[in-house]
Structure 1
């Protein structure tokens, strides 16, 4: 199923509402969150075919994966964020090439707009390991503590 931008905006607002209402636990959302979001979507889009399973849970899985990749980049020296274009910035091509060597799936992230990233920080933040304090990732900053250098 392809989501419209409007549907994604409403889903993000629903997620933020669940966070505010205490539905977020230490490692994710409490059981039943997807059904709450299904109801939320139905209120905004009467007659929608968006269901908790598989639509909302799959969208959450994809968004959380993208959030993790973007957060890892943000924790690395040489990376930044452009609030106007909602894109990742990088100081030079060598830094980008090294990152893509470590994380090939990030290749498509460089010039893509991520309009929900700041919302994802609020929704998914502290949900997952970002590698920020990790040392010695194979071939990627051996022996270096992530986040130890300033951006």
Structure 2
């Protein structure tokens, strides 16, 4: 980082790691809520309009939601064989 941006004082840990974890947490939360009852998602501006359990996400834009799917989507199990971490043996 210092080589490309001298004087930026950004470190991979904790600066980039914390941003990565926050984006992943937001992406997963929105993905889990999509299609659930009471969930309002603004498709144009990519932000949560309403959901009882989304207080921390309300009106926070996730502009790159579609692109984040390419990064974080592969980490999510889907389909009949999917199981929650508590169910895994």
Q: Scaled by the length of structure 2, what TM-score is found?
A: 0.64
CA distance in 1, matches of 2:41, 2:66: 10
Higher relative contact order (CA 8 A, sep 6+): 1
1:54 and 2:31 aligned:
no
Instruction: List structure 1 runs of 4+ shifted beyond 3 angstroms.
Output: 77-81
User: Residue 48 of structure 2 aligns to a residue in which SS?
Assistant: strand
Q: For residues 116 and 46 of structure 1, do their structure 2 counterparts lie closer, same or farther at Cα, with a shift above 3 Å needed?
A: farther
Aligned length: 82
| 1:109 maps to which of 57, 63, 81 | 57
The higher radius of gyration belongs to 1
CA distance in 1, matches of 2:30, 2:71: 14
List gaps (5 residues or longer) in structure 1: 1-37, 91-95, 101-105, 135-151
Greater fraction of residues in helix: 1
CA distance in 2, matches of 1:81, 1:126: 22
Q: Deviations over 1:60-111 (max 9, x none)?
A: 1111111110111125355464332221355xxxxx33xx2xxxxx213232
CA distance in 1, matches of 2:35, 2:70: 16
Q: Scaled by the length of structure 1, what TM-score is found?
A: 0.42
1:76 and 2:36 aligned:
yes
Correspondence 1:27-106 to 2 at 5 A: 38=1, 43=4, 45-76=5-36, 79=39, 81-89=41-49, 96-97=51-52, 100=53, 106=54
RMSD: 3.1
